[in-house]
Amino acid sequence: MATADPISDLSRPPARTGYALLVSIAALPQEQFDGLLARLQELFAPEDLLIATQNAFTPDTYPSLRIVNAPPSSTSWTLTAGDFVAANELAQKHDARHILILGPECSSLSADTLRELATPVISGSVDLAVPNYRLPANAGLVNSAILYPLTRALFATRVRYPLAIDLGLSQRMAARLAAAGQRLGQNDSLIWPVAEAVTSGFNIGEFEVDQRALPQPTDPDIRTILTAITSSLFSDIESKAAYWQRARRLPPPRPEHLRPAHTGSERTSEVVSMVEGFRLAYSNLQEIWSLVLPPATLVGLKRLSVMDAASFRMPDPLWARIVYDFLVAFRLRTINRGHLLGALIPLYLAWVAGHINLSSSGTDPEHHIEAVAAAFDADKPYLVSRWRWPDRFNP
């Protein structure tokens, strides 16, 4: 008995195969969707484009474009395994040679950004094109504190946003990400494209993005977000341990990374709240932290617990050591993983408090983020030693 195709092809012109670029677009308000399509038609020949959308449309709405239905995404704020699997299946079905995946709220992307993400993939110069978003001083701090420095230190890459939500993909990169998604078995699982590209030996290109409205999770609670993202990243790092334990040289920074300094941000009452939360956690979480962190780190946290909120700052080497020890404890299941990552949250918020203090004092946030990443680079031998000999707190 024949079954209906879950991805229906409704638009005209008639079905054909052999497209230069499949553009997979997250659901958008209709006016924004129309504007995005207009920009794409200005950049690329319409006959080379296959558009996959979650928006409703009729066959005669966009007569010059070939449009197909994309399955609804399982998340409103990032890309997931289901997005990569669906995009790869559509590309194979319609013989699309390259893919541009545009995440939620992608209508804010400029024509220059769309061109920079798609053109290098189409030309064959890169397999994965990723954006370097230009964000406000105190935005994207989970990325700045954990995702970027960990990915940089372990995979020897300077890609600033390893969980970017807009990507250009070659055919083999799309197949690799789809295979990773199928292995995880859940459509809402997170995939780490940069790590997949690095471990495959694929070429990565990074491109500046000056404007991008970032979508917000349905549940904006930092505890939920941090636990979900960190758990996924730690699991991915665990699965790729054979790769990152080998010494690799970090490439030199490109001029694009040397951005103009941000202006100082305002110190907010949130800093006081974060520091008070850290002090409370220091009193209540000693038993858990002592199972994860070595004595020297606990001494460092004791010093922080008596520091005034106005001058509070988490030292960069201390933060790197904390994250590495939590990663090891995650691998060893020293305690329940949910409880473990919950115990990381007040430490992360302590780092955030220090980062905001530095920004408000006139320090360029980007300089601080790069200093944090350098601390992770320098301490990687500690992680490798603990990974191989986990019973030893000190190498």
21-254 under CATH 3.90.550, yes or no: yes
Handedness of CA 185, 190, 191, 195 (dihedral sign): negative
**Which is higher by pLDDT, 284 or 134?**
284
Question: What Å distances lie between residue 41 and 44, 51, 111, CA to CA?
Answer: 5, 11, 10
Q: Could you report the per-residue pLDDT of 194-252, keeping only the tens digit for each?
A: 999 999 999 999 999 877 888 877 777 888 899 999 999 999 999 999 999 999 999 99
pLDDT at residue 392 in the model:
62
Bond prior to 13 in cis (omega within 30° of 0): yes
Domain ranges of the chain: 21-254, 269-388
**Residue range 30-50: average pLDDT?**
94
Contact 365, 262 (CB under 8 A): yes
pTM of the model: 0.91
| Top-confidence residue, 394 or 377 | 377
Q: How confident is the model at residue 267 (pLDDT cuts 50, 70, 90)?
A: low
Please state, in angstroms and rounded to a whole number, the distance separating the CA atoms of residues 25 and 70: 8
Q: What is the structure's pLDDT at 273?
A: 95
Which pLDDT tens digit goes with each residue over 215-228? Answer: 877 777 888 899 99
* Largest distance between two CA atoms of the chain: 72
User: Residue 189 and residue 170: Cα distance in Å, rounded?
Assistant: 22
Residue 260 pLDDT class (50, 70, 90 cuts): very low
Say how far apart CA 97 and CA 121 lie, in whole Å: 10
Is pLDDT at 167 greater than 60 in this prediction?
yes
Tell me the mean pLDDT in the region 279-302: 96
Q: What is the pLDDT of residue 185?
A: 85
The Cα 248–Cα 340 span in angstroms is 30
**221 burial class (0-12, 13-18, 19+ CB within 10 angstroms)?**
exposed
Token couple for 379: 């301490």
Strands 204-209, 21-25: pairing is: unpaired
Q: To 10 degrees, what angle do helices 171-184 and 81-94 make? A: 130
User: What does the pLDDT look like over 175-195, one tens digit per residue?
Assistant: 999 999 999 988 899 999 999
Average pLDDT for residues 17-23, to the nearest whole number? 91
**Single-letter amino acid, residue 126:** V
- Percent of the chain past pLDDT 70, that is, above it, reads 91
